[in-house]
Structure 1
Amino acid sequence: MAQDDKPQGGTQDGEAEKAADAKELHRTVREAGDAELDRPSGALFWSGLAAGIAIHSSLIAEGALHAGLPDAPWRDLVASLGYPVGFLVVILGRMQLFTESTITAMLPLVTRPSGWALRRTVRLWAIVLVANLIGTALAAGMVAGGALGNAEIRAAMVEVSARILELGGWQTFINAIPAGFLIAMIAWILPNGRNQAFWIILAISYVIAVAGFSHSIVGADETFLLLFTGRVDVGHALFGLLIPAILGNLVGGAGLFTLLAHGQVQGETGE
């Protein structure tokens, strides 16, 4: 908005300006979601597969930092700086990440609800989620098979991954809700902060790491590594780790954050 066009009328005008900003954000994120929903299945799958492989760089960076740091109380705080690496690669690289699509795919649905809109939202989530999981499984398999990293870093990656075993299935679900909320927040903020995108992604994903919140796709990478190295069995991996994290991320991103983001402009979107 140009300087001369700004409202000059005090509190009420300031509130109107904020509402207009929220409407513009809603429209921008919703249109991005529509574009994603209209993409061919093949394009979604390959983009999601690339994201699943690329997100593995978070675990590589964490493992490398963990291996190179002394065993001190601040070790995890510094090693967690590796966690945002995968998110920076995936989000700035415009790859399809399941948790980021929770809000972008949901806004078109909640704005124009219909059976058709629901089906295409579920279609996007299913394709991207499966592709993300395949990508993380491939990357974790390469580590477990000794194809990536040296022995010290591989051992550190397993040690970092083993932290998810401290939570039961219900705790993982609850822990995944704020992670889904925060990743959806990134997708909501970025249109207004493209010049600060690096720092926005870094700060929010670092909070997820240091708080120990459960992210379904990074968690899938860790789960597959633990599965392939014999630390967990298939049942625990599926029902104790993967599914609770996926559902919790959906509740936090597609549920809480999307409804709050949409609710603040409901009736004002022109839809």
Structure 2
Amino acid sequence: MSNRHTSDRKARRHELLKTVDEIARPDAYVLHEAIRLGGDEELRRHGGALFLSAFAAGLSIALSLIVPGVLKSHLPDADWSKVITSMGYAVGFLVVVLGRQQLFTENTITPVLPLLHDRSVKTTWRVLRLWTIVLCGNLLGTLAISTLIAHAGAFEPAVQKAFAEISHDAIAHEFAATFVKAIFAGWMIALMVWFLPATGSAAPFIIMLMTWLVSLCSLAHVVAGSVEAFYLVVTGAATMGEYVGRFFVPTLLGNLFGGVALVAVLNYGQVAPEVEETREVEGERPD
């Protein structure tokens, strides 16, 4: 029965994605269902596979520090330079999202829609399990790559200096300011995930635009920012206490609120009547 349900879900999501591709402006319900069914598949993935994918994402997202750092080391110290270096921030997200690696902030929306659809203890546990595995994998990946960047000798002193200057912003603000910055970052990343199914071949452009704006506005992202904050920790420029208190806790809370409350819940609200009507017609029961 479980295998049949899984096959049915995958077939239904495939049909929905085809519909999204074929319709110039798919409605909110079609987008909701495509994302929800994708989230449902993620909730059922093996824990080991989730962790490895999340660890890989933690490594890949380091490009959001490496590329801006290299660009910064080659550009003059001018106001317009940040516009260029911020574009490099998008590279890590392009690799992670297009490579289908597990990124925590994407998961503030994809598994939440199944939870809103089926508000049960079982689904709640699955969401918490997914968040825990993915966040741990992301953070371990960022710690590993930050240590390598700092101590492997692969980058010249000028580039290392640029890394330090960029990274300083991660812990430069008070708790409240970082929390607000993280809300906006979580909101923007979750919005990106929401409308990616409707973008087709324009997906790389949308990812680049939204993440470039996150960097340009100096917003706080719990995974990409952890590369920067861990870089400061492993080079001795910051302490683990500063990482946890000034960056990790406010950024995690802000990203969660921005993704879950401002995108997942609000976008679910606009299709909730149609979702409930469809469930009644189809006689759907959570499994």
Would the TM-score normalized by the shorter structure come out above 0.5?
Answer: yes
Q: In structure 2, do the counterparts of structure 1 residues 134 and 147 end up closer, same or farther at CA, with 3 Å as the change threshold?
A: farther
2:69 aligned with 1:63: yes
SS at match of 2:77: coil
8 Å CA contact retained: 2:36, 2:114: yes
**TM-score of the superposition, structure 2-length normalised?**
0.86
2:168 aligned with 1:162: yes
Corresponding letter in the other structure for 2:63: S
Partner of 1:91: 97
2:147 aligned with 1:141: yes
SS at match of 1:215: coil
Distance 2:121 2:245 in 1: 29
Partner of 1:77: 83
Distance 1:84 1:73 in 2: 19
- 1:233 is aligned, of 220, 233, 239, to 239
Deviation at 1:67, TM superposition (A): 0.4
SS at match of 1:242: helix
CA deviation profile, 1:161-183 (whole Å, cap 9, x unmatched): 11223311221111100100111
CA deviation profile, 1:104-129 (whole Å, cap 9, x unmatched): 01000011101111000000000000
SS at match of 1:266: helix
Distance 2:49 2:141 in 1: 15
Deviation at 1:233, TM superposition (A): 1.1
Deviation at 1:186, TM superposition (A): 1.2
Distance 2:113 2:89 in 1: 28
Distance 1:54 1:69 in 2: 24
SS at match of 1:94: coil
- 1:199 is aligned, of 183, 198, 205, to 205
Q: How does 1:1-271 map to 2 (within 5 A)?
A: 21-269=27-275, 270-271=278-279
Distance 2:239 2:202 in 1: 42
Partner of 1:11: none
Corresponding letter in the other structure for 1:232: A
Distance 1:194 1:230 in 2: 44
Identity value in percent: 41
Count of aligned positions: 254
Corresponding letter in the other structure for 2:167: S
Distance 2:59 2:154 in 1: 12
- Is the deviation greater in 192-201 or in 166-175? 166-175
Corresponding letter in the other structure for 1:178: F
Deviation at 1:27, TM superposition (A): 0.2
Runs of 4+ residues over 3 Å off in structure 1: none
SS at match of 1:191: helix
Q: In structure 2, do the counterparts of structure 1 residues 83 and 180 end up closer, same or farther at CA, with 3 Å as the change threshold?
A: same
SS at match of 2:105: coil
Partner of 2:19: none
**TM-score of the superposition, structure 1-length normalised?**
0.91
CA deviation profile, 1:220-261 (whole Å, cap 9, x unmatched): 111100111111111111111111111100000012111111
SS at match of 2:76: coil
CA deviation profile, 1:24-51 (whole Å, cap 9, x unmatched): 0000000010011110000000000000
